[in-house]
Structure 1
Amino acid sequence: MTTKTALVTGANKGIGYEIAAGLGALGWRVGVGARDDARRESAVEKLRAAGHDVFGVPLDVTDDASVARAADRLDELDVLVNNAGITGGMQQRPTTADLDVVRTVVETNVIGVIRVTNAFLPLLRRSASPRIVNMSSGVGSLARQSAPDASELTIGPVAVAYSPSKTFLNGVTVQYARELRDTNIKINVACPGFVATDLNNFRGVRTPEEGAHIAIKLATLPDDGPTGGYFEDAGRIPW
């Protein structure tokens, strides 16, 4: 069997690290994408010590040159997991919004995904079963955000930068699915749930390992699997 290759952005810690570990446990070769050199190499060392076939990929999703150099480092790619993201900090009330924060969050969480995806599409097109997984969040669901009985536990706090950036990412994913519908590339959105990471000061109720499950599932979809969908462990999420 030919070893499959994946790239996970933001994989030096948290959910991204566990996605890399999970794919590595399946026998995949995994690129650990991260912009911080020391953290990236530390993650690579830990993953290799656990028996995984991994390699570091210097990658800043907000920088054109960095992304281009990362794409040049790889000869093949079967799966891209766009996991890198930021919250922009809290609070993010619309009436007092710092527009620079909104721009920065969108640049990373949305434009960064487009930048990375387009750079690696030529490699993915050469794969027999290419998959793209965009890590979003349940807070990106407009149906959930607008539900009259929604609680902060399920939809998060009022956040004019972070939550809409995930809604934007969901919409971008659908547009990719539409354009690529006549190819063998499957692209889906993954919601890891409320995971305890440094993005939420470790207030989450799920472990990073649990949060990685849905991404690994979508990364390894069979050829008759879905595309253009929005999923959590329990199934589809309403847009």
Structure 2
Amino acid sequence: SSRASVFRLDITKQDDIDAAFELVKEKTQVLHGLVNNAGIAVISYIDWTSMESYRQIMDVNFFGHVGMTKKFLPLLIAKRDSRVVNICSAAGYIATPAMSAYSASKYALESFSDCLRREMVPWGLRVSIIEPGFMRTPMLQDDGKSFSRIWDNLSRDAKDRWGEEFVKAKLNFVINGSLVKKAEDPMKVVRALQHAIMSSTPHIRYRPGIQSAYVSFPMSTLPAWLTDWILRKLRGSNHIPVGISKQHHD
């Protein structure tokens, strides 16, 4: 559309956020909607994940969205019934192995969104959260490569703790696991986003897709011990790290 404006924006850089705000403010003094959609992920066990990776994922998936929201808030509350839509994830309410950095960032965004919604009630600002499960996107397609790359870069001590057989089994799950094979059409997320922005009655939460609505969310409401047991069954527990055989016993 000739009415659309496109510009580069790195939400981890305040200067970029400030520049984007000025571009928008030149065109309008009010803003109907802000969609926070940027996101990155790695599949990596805590023992494997560098502090740099944790910080990078939090910068993009959480702090960047907080920075965008705070900067554009004056334009959003300049009129009633404006919208903020945060693209979160099923990982924001159920934490699974090898997803600690991603889940932590999404849990944080969930909490921020709830606080924002409750604070903005007097202003009439609507805040919606979209929580998809696995979707057929480039991010999902790259998981196997990134998993292998992280393993290859581990120290010898870490590799000795986990072992090649364990990693091969988990890599096979990452690439061929049932949840990944059943990844869903991302248009389900688009339709939820469209409703959140355009409907006169936007939902507080959207769980597009079968995985999010009928698998992950119900599982998150169960007792923690039962959720742990189900996740072990879903992910397979036949392969264990080689280092376990070397543990000391009192």
The TM-score normalised by the length of structure 1 is 0.65
1:65 is the counterpart of 2:40: no
1:213 is the counterpart of 2:165: no
Residues 32-76 of structure 1, C-alpha deviations (whole Å, 9 max, x = no match) = xxxxxxxxxxxxxxxx4xxx8422032110000100110111124
Residue 129 of structure 1 corresponds to which residue in structure 2?
A: 81
1:183 is the counterpart of 2:138: no
Residue 54 of structure 1 corresponds to which residue in structure 2?
A: 4
Conservation of the 8 A alpha-carbon contact between 1:173 and 1:187? yes
User: C-alpha root-mean-square deviation of aligned residues, in Å?
Assistant: 2.4
Structure 2: tracts of 5 or more residues without a match:
143-179, 221-250
Counting aligned pairs with the same residue, the percent is: 24
Alignment of 1:36-51 (within 5 A): 48=1
Question: How many pairs does the alignment contain?
Answer: 172
Q: Distance in 1 between matches of 2:107 and 2:4?
A: 31
Residue 158 of structure 1 corresponds to which residue in structure 2?
A: 98
Q: Which has the higher strand share?
A: 1
Q: Distance in 2 between matches of 1:220 and 1:168?
A: 26
Give the 3-state SS of the residue equivalent to 2:188 in structure 1.
Answer: helix
Counterpart pick for 2:67 among 115, 118, 131 = 115
Alignment of 1:82-97 (within 5 A): 82-87=36-41, 89-90=42-43, 92-97=44-49
Q: Distance in 1 between matches of 2:202 and 2:11?
A: 28
Deviation at 1:160, TM superposition (A): 1.4
Q: Distance in 2 between matches of 1:192 and 1:211?
A: 7
What code does the residue aligned with 1:211 have?
A: V
Residue 198 of structure 1 corresponds to which residue in structure 2?
A: 138
What code does the residue aligned with 1:79 have?
A: G
The TM-score normalised by the length of structure 2 is 0.62
Residues 160-200 of structure 1, C-alpha deviations (whole Å, 9 max, x = no match) = 11112111110111111121121110112102332111111
Residue 244 of structure 2 corresponds to which residue in structure 1?
A: none
Q: State the structure with more CA Rg.
A: 2
Deviation at 1:129, TM superposition (A): 2.1
Q: Distance in 2 between matches of 1:211 and 1:172?
A: 20
Conservation of the 8 A alpha-carbon contact between 1:77 and 1:124? yes
Q: Distance in 1 between matches of 2:77 and 2:88?
A: 23
Q: Distance in 2 between matches of 1:68 and 1:126?
A: 18
Conservation of the 8 A alpha-carbon contact between 2:34 and 2:84? yes
Conservation of the 8 A alpha-carbon contact between 1:131 and 1:220? no
Q: Distance in 2 between matches of 1:53 and 1:220?
A: 18
Residue 233 of structure 1 corresponds to which residue in structure 2?
A: 208
Residue 112 of structure 2 corresponds to which residue in structure 1?
A: 172
55-64 vs 205-214, which deviates more? 205-214
Give the 3-state SS of the residue equivalent to 1:57 in structure 2.
Answer: coil
Q: Distance in 2 between matches of 1:214 and 1:93?
A: 31
Residues 182-235 of structure 1, C-alpha deviations (whole Å, 9 max, x = no match) = 11101121023321111111756223322211121112232x545xx3321377
Structure 1: tracts of 5 or more residues without a match:
1-47, 146-154
